[in-house]
Structures are given as C-alpha cells and as structure tokens.
Amino acid sequence: MQIFGVDIGGSGIKGAPVDLDRGDLAQERLKVLTPHPATPDTVADGVKEVVDHFGWTGPVGITFPGVVTGGATIRTAANVDKTWIDTDARALLGERLGGLPVTVINDADAAGVAEMQFGAGRDRRGTVIMLTFGTGIGSALFAEGVLVPNTELGHLELHGHDAEKRASSKAKEDHDLSWEHWAHRVQTYLAHVEMLFSPELFIIGGGVSRKAEKFLHFIEDIKAEIVPAQLQNNAGIVGAAMRAAKEG
C-alpha cells in the first residue's frame, strides 16, 4: 500500500510516495526550497509542486513545523510566517491539491510515529522522546508507545533563550560551532529534558541523524540511551503518510 507523504520544513519541502508495508519511500523524494516569506499561499504552492511532480491522485499526509490541532488548525509558527496561525491547513492544502484528501500533523510527531513503528523506537516501551534537530528543534513524546501530540519541547527555556535558538542545527551553522561545542549544547538541553521526563530512550532525528558519528560520542552524563533515527531525514515523510492512511 502506498500513500503520499510531504514534510514541510523551515528550509525545504520534500515528499514522495511511501510504501507503508516497508516504512520507506517508494520512489526517490523531491525537495524544493521553502519560500521566504513562508506564507500559507507560497508554502501551499511548494506542496503542490512536489505532489504534482509525481502525478499523485490519492490521499496526502502533510507535516507542519508547529502545533496542529484537530488534524487541521495551525496554532504556532515559529519557523514559518506567522500568518499560518489559525489557518485551516487541511482545507487550504486540500483545495490547492485539487480536492485530494489531506491530513496534517506536527512534523516531529510524524517523524516520531515513523521511528516508533519502523525505526529506532520499534518495540520500545516506557517513555521515549524523539528530538529532531533542524531549523528548530521538534519533539515527539511517547508513553508506552502512545503519542502525546504537540509537545514542542524545542521551546523550553535554556539559559534565557528558546532551546532551539542555542541547540538546533541552524544554531550550529549560524554560530559556526564545532561538532564538539554544539554537542555540549545538545547535552545541556538533553539533561534539562531528562530532568523533566526521565525517558528510557532519546531518538535524535533531523538531518544531523546522518552524521551521528560526529557528535554523539561527545554527549555524556545522560542516563537515557541516545540513538540516531534509523529513517533519518525521511521519517517525517513516512510518518505523514502513516497518519493519512490511519485517518483515511
């Protein structure tokens, strides 16, 4: 069974048909740059470009980098244009895609759902937290395999700042941090999250999951196991498709 998944990020919009039996992309994904400003209309155009590229005519699951309530309404927009707030994303994107059935889910929640089903969180119980490091920091919290949606732990305060302003991949690039220096910031952040939730497992996702060997060994004094995401940067696409299949 195949469903289309689209992952909207602060820097790119990427998508592909997903083989839900394997939990992997059925075709090579297409990525287009996220427009700036990333308004609802311009982002919807990017989503349409990705979906149209494959000639897709079925259900589409779409992630959004912010809080999504009721599978439709956007409540926060930290890394895209603020005009997204209170937008009915399901209606907007469904209309732009010519009436295709659309499901919308928080981006980190989608990545987490995919990792729990097909990746590093498979068969893991207890408390599991997936953290995606990219333009911001997304989070997905699971208690005994059940998702607690829209946790947005990237906005926890750390040294007087949003944690993602200090420890995201974008912060590493913006401040030209070495892998070791950045890993120490991540360690401070993980220690704070661990103090609050005492997880058994942290799954590290986003683009940096492909480079885990460059930084994970610098992270010390965390009691939870820390592993890179197995689906790497495709987790959001897979999770979006999974949610669309579930709701369809």
- pTM higher than 0.85: yes
Of 58, 65, 27, 69, the C-alpha closest to 43 is: 65
Reported as a pLDDT band with limits 50, 70 and 90, residue 152 is very high
14 SS3 class: strand
CA nearest 170: which of 9, 2, 1? Answer: 9
> Strands 102-106 and 73-74, how do they pair?
unpaired
Q: Kindly report, residue by residue over 105-143, the tens digit of the pLDDT.
A: 999 999 999 999 999 999 999 999 999 999 999 999 999
Share of the chain above pLDDT 90, in %: 96
CB 156 within 8 A of CB 193: yes
pLDDT single digits (tens) 64-78: 999 999 999 999 999
Across all residues in the chain, what is the average pLDDT? Answer: 96
Q: What is the pLDDT of residue 178?
A: 98
Q: Is 41 exposed, middle or buried (0-12, 13-18, 19+ CB in 10 A)?
A: exposed
Distance of alpha carbon 198 from alpha carbon 53, whole angstroms:
43
Mean of pLDDT values over 190-211: 96
- For 160, other C-beta atoms within 10 Å of its C-beta total 7
The residue that leads in pLDDT, 218 or 135, is: 218
Mean pLDDT of 237-241: 98
Q: In this model, does residue 248 exceed pLDDT 90?
A: no
H/E run at residue 8? strand 2-8
Do 241 and 112 meet the contact criterion of CB atoms below 8 Å apart? Answer: no
C-alpha torsion sign, points 83, 84, 88, 90:
positive
Joined together, the tokens standing for residue 205 give: 């996702």
With 90 as the cut, is the pLDDT of residue 218 above it? yes
| pLDDT given for residue 213 in this prediction | 97
For residue range 154-186, list pLDDT tens digits in order. Answer: 999 988 999 999 999 999 999 999 999 999 999
Residue 247 pLDDT: 86
For residues 169-198, one letter each, b for 16 or more C-beta atoms within 10 angstroms of the residue's C-beta and e for the rest, the string is bbbbeeeebebeebbbbbbebbebbbeebe
Mean pLDDT of 88-108: 98
pLDDT at 159: 87
Alpha carbon 191 to its chain's center: 21
Residue 241 in this model has a pLDDT that exceeds 90 = yes
Q: Give Cα 176 to chain centroid, integer Å.
A: 23
Q: For residues 62 and 52, is the Cβ–Cβ distance under 8 A? A: no
